[in-house]
């Protein structure tokens, strides 16, 4: 029988890969509290430095899935497909995408999370809608999915519970930034939710968790490989996150923008990412519908309203608005905006109250930032580039400090060159050598 100290030494010294049996024993012993948190933390640090090979990662993810329940969506008559984003600034794509793809004939069981730091959480955004609730039982979730075709909800406590314990340890031991641990954390929950297909939106750039494109693509390949190994048709799009996506950053502000997008008035960059993801989701689901037509016809917006109502929300109710609004980032000269840093804007929104520093913190539904100008827009001298929203005027000063840097924005004499929002697409064929390794 293995012992945890020996396994720590094996990973610490890179003696050999851990076997499937050793990993299975480890997770069972940890669940029974026979392995202490400090011992698991030591192993996580060894993995942080030395990684997991393909076989170890497959077994590690399998045990995380097996630590809890798996949703059974086989009774649904529609093909199931989901999407996951690694998070960014102004990333309200899920609010548009889930009802959009559902309106094209798929069932979209989107289990989402809450924001932490400068990246917003989908559940936090939707909770700005009066009456809407994130927590659904498995029976309520499948019922809502059958009615509306799409559901956005919190992952239940029974899905991959080992991930919750491990993430808490990683968060306090500096081992979050490990590609195999990130990949297994995300994919264990997505596989456990029972979807047949999955499209990943892996962000790269200043406002993304993975700022480096090469690392973002490595994470994307790892997650696609894990999905395919667990019989979930998986594809990843690596997309840009140097500039806020759309023009709204903050919970109610982003819901408002998502509604406009669903009625045909979405910003170009937001719709480019949304339509790209929708097309890949529909391909994996085996559907040939046109997502642009679903928006133009009003079908996607109708599905959105149905989705909100099935979770207790009122899609026609006014959204909360901030008590205080102030212009910021005054253009020092006339010219073309050539850069607007996503990270600085995200931190400003966080400091205004839109985000949280700790998981238990509350967020403000009304706080956030509206981008009055973005790269490619012409501004006049003295024009504010951003608009800050908050219910607490004392928050304006720390938000302004986050924006007070020469790297936040630049103005040029000509518009910047345009670049596609989708950097690369990674499919099962691109990781075929990893699958089954």
Query: What digits encode the pLDDT tens for the residues 341-382?
Result: 999 999 999 999 998 766 667 889 999 999 999 999 999 999
User: Does residue 255 have a pLDDT over 80?
Assistant: yes
Residues 167 and 312 in one domain: yes
Quick check: is 77 in a domain?
Answer: no
Q: Are 87 and 119 in contact (CB under 8 A)?
A: yes
Q: Which of 58, 83, 125, 170 is catalytic?
A: 170
The closest of 123, 2, 106, 11 to 57, measured between CA atoms, is: 11
Residues 125 and 159 in one domain: yes
Q: Which two tokens stand for residue 206?
A: 């200043």
Quick check: is 15 in a domain?
Answer: yes
Our answer to whether residue 13 is catalytic in this structure is no
Q: Are 104 and 287 in contact (CB under 8 A)?
A: yes
The closest of 264, 259, 265, 266 to 125, measured between CA atoms, is: 259
What's the pTM? 0.94
Quick check: is 201 in a domain?
Answer: yes
Give the phi and the psi of residue 363 in degrees, each rounded to 5: -120, 155
Quick check: is 213 in a domain?
Answer: yes
Q: Are 107 and 80 in contact (CB under 8 A)?
A: yes
Q: Cβ atoms within 10 A of the Cβ of 398, count?
A: 13
Our answer to whether residue 84 is catalytic in this structure is yes
347: domain range? 324-412
**Structural domain ending residue among the three candidates 66, 92, 116:** 66
Q: For the domain that residue 34 is a member of, what is the CATH number?
A: 1.20.970.10
Quick check: is 94 in a domain?
Answer: yes
Q: Which of 85, 112, 184, 185 is catalytic?
A: 185
Q: Are 112 and 154 in contact (CB under 8 A)?
A: yes
What is the predicted pLDDT for the residue at 176?
87
Residues 160 and 49 in one domain: no
Residues 297 and 333 in one domain: no
What is the predicted pLDDT for the residue at 434?
62
Our answer to whether residue 78 is catalytic in this structure is no
Q: For the domain that residue 359 is a member of, what is the CATH number?
A: 3.90.1170.30
Per residue in 138-150, pLDDT (tens digit) is 999 999 999 999 9
Quick check: is 436 in a domain?
Answer: no
Our answer to whether residue 163 is catalytic in this structure is yes
Q: For the domain that residue 158 is a member of, what is the CATH number?
A: 3.40.1030.10
Residues 328 and 310 in one domain: no
| Residues counted in the chain | 437
Cβ burial, residue 28 (10 Å; 0-12/13-18/19+): middle
Give the phi and the psi of residue 377 in degrees, each rounded to 5: -95, 145
Our answer to whether residue 185 is catalytic in this structure is yes
Residue 105 region, left (φ>0) first, then alpha (ψ -120 to 50), else beta?
left
Quick check: is 437 in a domain?
Answer: no
Q: What is the total count of domains within the chain?
A: 3
The mean per-residue pLDDT over the stretch 122-151 comes to 94
């Amino acid at each position: 029988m293995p012992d945890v100290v020996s396994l720590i030494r094996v990973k610490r010294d890179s003696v050999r890969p851990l076997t499937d049996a050793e990993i299975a024993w480890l997770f069972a012993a940890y669940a029974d509290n026979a392995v202490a948190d400090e011992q698991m933390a030591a192993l996580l640090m060894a993995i942080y430095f030395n990684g997991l090979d393909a076989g170890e990662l497959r077994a590690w993810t399998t045990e995380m899935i097996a630590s809890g329940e798996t949703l059974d969506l086989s009774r649904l008559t529609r093909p199931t497909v989901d999407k996951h984003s690694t998070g960014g600034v102004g990333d309200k794509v899920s609010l548009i995408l889930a009802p959009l793809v559902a309106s094209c004939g798929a069932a979209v069981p989107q289990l989402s999370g809450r924001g932490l730091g400068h990246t917003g959480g989908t559940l936090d955004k939707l909770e700005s809608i009066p009456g809407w609730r994130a927590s659904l039982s498995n029976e309520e979730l499948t019922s809502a999915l059958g009615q509306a075709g799409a559901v956005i909800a919190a992952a239940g406590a029974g899905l991959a519970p080992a991930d919750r314990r491990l993430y808490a340890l990683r968060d306090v031991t500096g081992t979050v930034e490990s590609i195999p641990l990130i990949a297994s954390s995300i994919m264990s929950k997505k596989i456990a939710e029972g979807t047949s297909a999955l499209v990943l939106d892996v962000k790269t750039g200043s406002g993304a968790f993975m700022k480096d494109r090469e690392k973002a693509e490595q994470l994307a390949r790892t997650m696609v490989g894990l999905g395919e190994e667990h019989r979930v048709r998986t594809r990843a799009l690596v997309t840009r996150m140097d500039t806020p996506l759309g023009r709204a950053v903050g919970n109610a502000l982003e819901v408002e923008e998502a509604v406009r997008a669903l009625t045909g008035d979405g910003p170009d960059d937001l719709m480019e990412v949304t339509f790209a993801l929708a097309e890949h989701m529909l391909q994996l689901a085996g559907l040939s519908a046109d997502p642009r037509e679903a928006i133009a016809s009003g079908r996607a917006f109708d599905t959105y309203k149905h989705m909100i109502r099935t979770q207790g929300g009122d899609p026609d109710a006014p959204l909360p608005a901030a008590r205080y609004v102030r212009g910021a980032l005054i253009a020092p000269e006339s010219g073309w905006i050539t850069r607007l840093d996503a990270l600085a804007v995200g931190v400003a929104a966080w400091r205004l109250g839109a985000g949280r520093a700790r998981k238990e913190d509350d967020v403000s539904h009304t706080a956030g930032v509206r981008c009055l100008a973005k790269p490619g827009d012409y501004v006049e001298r003295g024009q504010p580039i951003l608009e800050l929203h908050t219910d607490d005027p004392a928050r304006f000063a720390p938000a302004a400090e986050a924006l007070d840097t020469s790297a936040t924005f630049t103005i040029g004499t000509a518009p910047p060159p345009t670049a596609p929002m989708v950097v690369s697409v990674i499919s099962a064929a691109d990781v075929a050598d990893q699958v089954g390794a």
